[in-house]
Amino acid sequence: MSKLFEGIQLGSLTLANRIVIAPMCQYSADEGKATSWHHAHLGQLSFSGAGLLILEATAVEKVGRISPQDLGLWNDETQSALAGLMTSLRANSEMPIGIQLGHAGRKASCYAPWQGGTHISSQQGGWQTIAPSALAFADGDQAPEAMTLERIAQLKQAFVDSAKRADQLGFDLIELHGAHGYLLHQFLSPLANQRDDQYGGSLENRMRLLLEIFQEVRQVFADHKPVGVRISASDWVAGGWDLEQSVVLAKALEKLGCSFIHVSSGGLSPQQKIAVGPNYQVPFAQGIKQAVAMPVIAVGLITEAEQAEAIIGTGQADMVALARGILYDPRWPWHAAAKLGAKVAAPKQYWRSEPHNVKGLFNVK
């Protein structure tokens, strides 16, 4: 039996297999509102047979968008647009659907990747960014405003309000974005956080905001629905956030009832030095899995079925998340199931596509 295609529980949510479609920014929203692109993009992925689909990083404030085209959930208009999307997805797929809530902090106000991805200053039509300290991400970027305690309180309320909206929309799961150099990661890392109050300095203080937001979101999201966190386990910069600190954070989150941790790395500093290769981030997931009981999701150039099977089968992680790989091959779970002798869900309209050499591949109800 394939370990990759065994079911798993995230809190009270049952997933059919261990394959997660990771959040992937599409830079295709209209003032935070989902568009026809999201219907097409997420619709095809909802047919893939993966165990879980998590929507892209969704800003809890307008100023928290990475780009002007980022998805958002901060007002009635953005909620209404997502409601239409959820209705469409639910009508055609039974796949559990989560949403990643985040705030870009000092990495907000940037062009889309195909426009260069560089910072947009206020003079160029961008907006003033915020961060734990007034330190720009890259040389030449407009410096962010250091957040006051009042502004931190407003941020926490924004996460709570977006979580309530996500619950009303029927999302099965929330993932808080504490990775890739965005605002919650900025508070964690001593490279970006040079505060001298209760949110800076010691590891306990730097973790405080993420832990507080987790607790407040957990309180307002339905009890039976999982809330997890995505982190960057290392800044890949000397003196920055690292695996040892990530383990401490993971243990603290688990004590608060965190349902899963999704382990990535990098994104905090242009000085990062990353040796990229297959499974390059999996050791971070493995290190955290050895320290906690909650499910751990691994990512990082996982492209082959046998590779994913080995990660799960050897206990390096409980799940694997695919991003660019599933954009390239939106039927990746089908093909993996065929290779591993497993079964996978598919829409009835596609059952006739089952190849003759893998008859019985689809779970026909």
> Catalytic amino acids?
182
| Helix (H/G/I), strand (E/B), else coil: 100 | strand
Give, as one character, the DSSP assignment of residue 148.
P
Residue 230: φ, ψ to 5°: -105, 135
Angle formed at CA 174 by CA 28 and CA 70, multiple of 5 degrees: 15
Please give the C-alpha separations between residue 220 and each of 32, 227, 262, in angstroms, as whole numbers: 23, 11, 21
Give, as one character, the DSSP assignment of residue 144.
P
CA dihedral sign, ordered 273, 210, 250, 262: negative
Whether 313 and 3 have beta carbons less than 8 Å apart is answered as yes
Pick from 255, 250, 75, 119: which is nearest to 178 by CA? Answer: 250
Please give the C-alpha separations between residue 63 and each of 32, 35, 179, 311, in angstroms, as whole numbers: 11, 20, 18, 38
Please give the C-alpha separations between residue 310 and each of 2, 52, 245, 314, in angstroms, as whole numbers: 10, 20, 27, 6
CA dihedral sign, ordered 93, 94, 95, 98: positive
- Alpha carbon distance 90, 43 (integer Å): 10
Pick from 191, 158, 146: which is nearest to 64 by CA? Answer: 158
Whether 221 and 163 have beta carbons less than 8 Å apart is answered as yes
Residue 334, C-beta contacts closer than 8 angstroms, at least 6 positions apart: 48, 49, 344, 346, 361
Pick from 331, 347, 335, 328: which is nearest to 309 by CA? Answer: 335
Pick from 290, 202, 199, 300: which is nearest to 251 by CA? Answer: 290
